[in-house]
Amino acid sequence: MVRPVLLTAWRVVVEGLENIPSEGPAIIAPNHTAAIDSFFIPAVLPRRIIYVGKSEYLDDWKTRRLFPALGMIPIDRSGGDASQRALATAKRVLERGELFGIYPEGTRSRTGRLHKGHTGMARLAIETGAPIVPVGIIGTREIQPPEVSVPLPLKRVQIRFGAAIDPHRYATRADDRLALRQLTDEVMFEIRELSGQEYDPTYATKGATPSAPPPDVIDVTAAADRRSSSEVLRPIASDAPHAEAG
């Protein structure tokens, strides 16, 4: 039901679907700039994807059926550590050989920049052996800018799936914080290459003020010299407030 609506209302261009494993587990890791991101990814994938989401969505009649149909598993955020419960649920999904979707930034970017990734994704990959498929989503922020509830139709969306990243070289280092950070930064480097976003070496927060105007999107379809992740994951010199990596 959702797929035909999305593909009719917006001009969706998809690249790299061959990078999605035809079977077995994989972690799908997109950038996140708009609420509607969670609709486009399931709509274009050839396999069902599972996300975790807050159980409060099931209390609203508007989302009670929609979000489970998109593959959302509700997580009760009251009492105990909700993030640990979410990761435990994700681990079970991957052990069943399914696709699991996670936003490495943890929440939407209110500025349009790509923020520092959290390491839970890397731990999940190392513990399960599931490859991580980086994803760059371009255009959804123009469809649904921050604080706008109704998406704007007829705009272009580009979704680019990168080559899967194999976590097995870190197999014995699931508790090594440096290894978790290295794998996470490797994924964020690839997402940045796919999305063309400017990198912000701070964690995304729900209260961030949107930038005006949003940063330009680089032409990611043009050939470019490959650089190290340390070079790419470095803020531009003019971005003085974020000049030091955290």
Beta-carbon contacts of 50 under 8 Å, excluding residues fewer than 6 positions away, are: 71, 72, 73, 90, 93, 98, 99, 100, 101
Q: Which helix (H) or strand (E) is 221 found in, with range?
A: none
In 3D space, the residue among 115, 136, 118, 112 whose CA is nearest the CA of residue 34 turns out to be 112
Measured between alpha carbons, how far is 191 from 28 in angstroms, rounded to an integer?
Answer: 11
DSSP string of 134-168? Answer: EEEEESHHHHS-TT--SPPSS-EEEEEE-PPBP-G
pLDDT digits (tens, 9 = 90+) for 10-28: 999 999 999 999 999 999 9
Q: pLDDT grade, residue 79 (50/70/90)?
A: low
Domains, the chain, with CATH or none: 2-242 (3.40.1130)
What type of residue sits at position 230?
A: S
pLDDT tens readout for residues 39-70? 999 999 999 999 987 666 667 766 677 777 77
Percent above pLDDT 90 for the chain: 61
Is residue 192 scored above 90 in pLDDT? yes
What gap in Å lies between CA 156 and CA 53, rounded to an integer?
27
Q: Is the dihedral of CA 121, 122, 126, 131 positive or negative?
A: positive
pLDDT, one tens digit per residue, over 122-152 is 999 999 999 999 999 999 999 999 888 899 9
Let me know: does 41 contact 72? Beta carbons within 8 Å.
no
CA nearest neighbour of 68 among 51, 85, 80: 51
Closest CA to 135 of 208, 37, 65, 53: 37
